[in-house]
Amino acid sequence: MPRAKKTEEQPEQAKSFEELAGRIEEIIAALDEGKASLEETVALYTEGVQAVKQCTLSLEQVQRNLEVVREEE
């Protein structure tokens, strides 16, 4: 099963949008299997929520950058 736990003791290094999206897919697959314990499920869910938040922030930054480019045209 994919890694289940990311704790505060193990700081996450900045990952690319693509890496985060891939990890979200792995988390979804692991949760869909239904074989994880309750503790693992909560850890996976928490990691997934954090990854989605990071992806959202990345997309918002890209959107702001594109708006600046459009304004410069």
Question: Could you identify the residue written with the tokens 């692991």?
Answer: 30
- Between helix 17-33 and helix 38-72 the angle, nearest 10°, is 150
Q: What is the domain range of residue 39?
A: 17-72
The number of distinct structural domains making up the chain is: 1
Mean pLDDT computed over every residue of the chain = 88
Residue 32 within a domain: yes
Instruction: Classify residue 60: in a domain, yes or no.
Output: yes
Question: Is residue 66 assigned to a domain?
Answer: yes
Q: Would residue 44 count as lying in a domain?
A: yes
Residue 9 has pLDDT above 70, yes or no: no
| pLDDT tens, position by position, 49-68 | 999 999 999 999 999 999 99
Helices (H), the chain: 17-33, 38-72
**Quick check: is 49 in a domain?**
yes
In a domain, 9, yes or no: no
Look up the pTM and report it. Answer: 0.75
Provide the pLDDT for residue 14.
83
Q: How many CB atoms are closer than 10 A to CB 18? A: 10
